[in-house]
Structure 1
Amino acid sequence: MSLALASAPVRTVQARTAPSLPAAPVAAPLRSIGAPAPSASTEATTAVAASASARPAAPRVRAVPEGTEARGFVLYVGIDEAKAAADGTTLHRIVEALRALTAEIAPSSGTYAAVALAPEGAGGRDVDVVRLALQDPAALAKQREGQGTRDDTDRHPNGVIIDISRKRVLLDGEAAGLTYKEFELLQYLVLREGRTIDRHELIENLWDADDEAPSERTIDVHVRRLRSKLAHYQDIVRTVRGVGYRFDRHADVSIRQASTPSPDLY
């Protein structure tokens, strides 16, 4: 007998042979003849099961509109290397601890970590820098609101504009048409301005572990293609013979990154 039937009220039935004597209603739950009476613990379990079945389904994630599904989330962590050292740790250790915790709680999840870079002395809260770097819509909207309608980034003077926040390079106002990997290569050099980067470091930081690692010769090919697209400004990427490559800023080179620093692969 199902739970629904056992808990339903029982109708009063009158016997045809004694119409003047109404049958008394059955107050106890029905059970099969010969079955033992339910114990107090059984009744409590039944009540809990009935309550659980009536409980509404878990609500959807608040920010997820109808017709879409949540596939993950972003946790912004704002802390620079000096603060991490003062706390007795490093950014790498924080990342690894968060990854380990995620793997423990949800083994089927995947993680990706990036570090947000900003010019030294840029100021502002660390977490705000990270949100802008990762193009958080709310942070970008707040920034635009603070700037009003003024937007100087759409002016294209002569020279080179390396717009890290928008992932583009303009040469005298015209887009250079760099590929994704070419821009990543240029960005890596720009963010380390004045330092010579060897080919091994470029391979290690610009190619994922899952990708087939290119040879040092491949790096030379990428740099050569990048420089050809920079046209008469190609000498901003200098070759240091026997070592690697370096970005040298000229007077006609403008780098836009302070408002929305680009994340770099951690």
Structure 2
Amino acid sequence: MSNTALLERPTAPARHLRAVTAPVATVPQPAPAAPAAAERNLPAGTAPRGFALYVGIDETKVEASGVSLGVLVEALRRTLAELAPTAETYATVALAPVGSGGRDVDVVRLALHEPSAIARTKQDEALDEDRAPGGVVVDISRKRVLIDSESAALTFKEFELLQYLVLREGRTIERTELVSSLWQGATDDEAPGERTIDVHVRRLRAKLGRYEDIVRTVRGIGYRFDRHADVSIRYGHGTPSPDRF
């Protein structure tokens, strides 16, 4: 979805989140930490200059609530302006591959390169590699495929084909879409015919060996990838997210 389309889409009126100025329950409130204690946890020579609030929610869930991401951002900005008029704000959207698993907020932290999220992911990847897992590992971040812990000798176009299907898990992709998407910018003479896609798929399957069935044929339409117990996907650390609000 383009930034322009997002801005032009009708949205519900912005809701102003009112500041809470008094306790709303009788539950005892913990005593605030002393400034000196908080400062002791800061690296030497540093001082707080602001904070980041990671919000994990996709557009489908937002729309089900009758608002949009833009409306939420503006509501938070209005509330912050009331509480701290001199505060400066900056908002961006977190993009992640379709089908990324895990909690929304964890996906957001990783996509926006939050240091502790990246560190934890690198640690998990190192553990995965140490375990030398069997099956197929589609490593999106490193553009490689491991089969029973051995690197598969896929060509660039074969990897692109597998990646395209994996990122659209559960959806049948027509041959015409594969041609137009994987050979963007190619002239009519350079772009392959639909039957050439079948040749690429046959070669890809041959290299997948006993796991060739992870790329399914949908007769008369095209191909698809469904989640499989023998397949794990590594999405890496996300991509830089564009300004959106």
Structure 2 length normalisation: TM-score? 0.51
Q: Whose radius of gyration is greater, 1 or 2?
A: 1
Choose which of 73, 93, 97 in structure 2 pairs with 1:117: 97
> Per-residue CA shift, 1:31-85, capped at 9, x if unaligned?
xxxxxxxxxxxxxxxxxxxxxxxxxxxxxxxxxxxxxxxxxxxxxxx99544699
Report what 1:153 is aligned to: 128
Within 2, Cα distance between the matches of 1:163 and 1:243? 27
Report what 1:170 is aligned to: 146
Within 2, Cα distance between the matches of 1:161 and 1:87? 36
Q: CA RMSD in A?
A: 3.4
Contact 1:203/1:219 (8 A) holds in 2: yes
Within 2, Cα distance between the matches of 1:81 and 1:206? 27
Contact 1:203/1:213 (8 A) holds in 2: yes
| Structure 1 position 260, deviation (Å) | 3.0
Q: Secondary structure at the match of 2:105?
A: coil
Within a 5 Å distance, the mapping from 1:48-197 to structure 2 comes to 81-82=59-60, 86-87=67-68, 116-118=96-98, 119=100, 122-124=103-105, 128-131=109-112, 139=113, 143-146=117-120, 151-154=126-129, 155-197=131-173
Question: Counterpart of 1:242 in structure 2: which amino acid?
Answer: G
Q: What number of residue pairs does the alignment pair up? A: 153
Tell me which of the two structures has the higher relative contact order, counting C-alpha pairs closer than 8 angstroms and 6 or more residues apart.
2
Within 1, Cα distance between the matches of 2:102 and 2:203? 34
Report what 1:232 is aligned to: 210
Within 1, Cα distance between the matches of 2:172 and 2:146? 24
Question: Counterpart of 2:206 in structure 1: which amino acid?
Answer: S
Q: Which runs of 5+ in 2 are unaligned?
A: 1-55, 71-94, 241-245
Report what 1:209 is aligned to: 185
Q: Which runs of 5+ in 1 are unaligned?
A: 1-77, 90-114, 132-138
| Structure 1 position 217, deviation (Å) | 1.4
Question: Counterpart of 1:260 in structure 2: which amino acid?
Answer: H
Report what 2:89 is aligned to: none
Structure 1 length normalisation: TM-score? 0.48
